[in-house]
Amino acid sequence: MQVLVSMGVTAVILLLIAKAWLHFEPTKLMAIQLSPTDGLLGLGLGLAISLASAIVYQLWPDYRQSADIYLTMVLQPLYWPDLIWLGVLPGLSEELLFRGVMLPAIGLNWLGIAVSAASFGVMHLSGLQQWTYMLWATAIGLVLAIGAVLTGNLLVPIVAHGVTNLVSSAVWKFRQQRTPA
């Protein structure tokens, strides 16, 4: 329950930061267009990110250790239905801030993509020993930002982020249940 409360509080804080940013530096928010094509693109992107994450997890021991520490902290106390919130809350709040507000404010160019991705990665740094997880989150931030810029639709990274969180956390939780203590 404490993890869900923390996720909810973090989501509200990120939304307030996005709102404050728009108040002090009015910029055009990236549009969310309900498009079946872009929704499917987001779904495919989320599944591709999840697959890439599974491959990196298997091939890079430092990342695997870092991811396990981070995911144990976040996922261990959660029940299966809670994973839906893990997909929805960060998918909406983080994408609204990093790709919806920050990216257009800095510019829909390589600088905006890089800054929003690096900021996204740093937000996932829970300690210096998790630097590989931060590096991975930065790479994912790049992919999500590029998807947003290429489509001009915030729906793509929102769906991709939500799917990635949901699939990756379900796979991790399933593995933990199958592993003897």
pLDDT bracket for residue 126 (50, 70, 90)? confident
The whole-number average pLDDT for the span 31-37 is 93
Q: Which residues of 27-46 are buried (b: 16+ CB within 10 A; e: fewer)?
A: eeebebeeeeebbebbeebb
Q: What does pLDDT average to over the chain? A: 89
pLDDT for 88: 87
Annotate 81-99 with three-state secondary structure.
CHHHHHHHHHHHHHHHHHH
pLDDT for 181: 57
The whole-number average pLDDT for the span 167-178 is 86
Distances, alpha carbon 165 to alpha carbons 91, 104, 118, 152, 157, in Å: 8, 24, 19, 22, 12
| Residue with tokens 């298997």, as numbered in its chain | 58
pLDDT bracket for residue 180 (50, 70, 90)? low
Using CB atoms within 10 A of its CB, is residue 136 exposed (0-12), middle (13-18) or buried (19+)? Answer: buried
- Residue boundaries of the structural domains of the chain: 37-176
Q: Which residues of 82-105 are buried (b: 16+ CB within 10 A; e: fewer)?
A: bbebbbbbbbbbbbbbbbbbbbbb
Q: Are 96 and 32 in contact (CB under 8 A)?
A: no
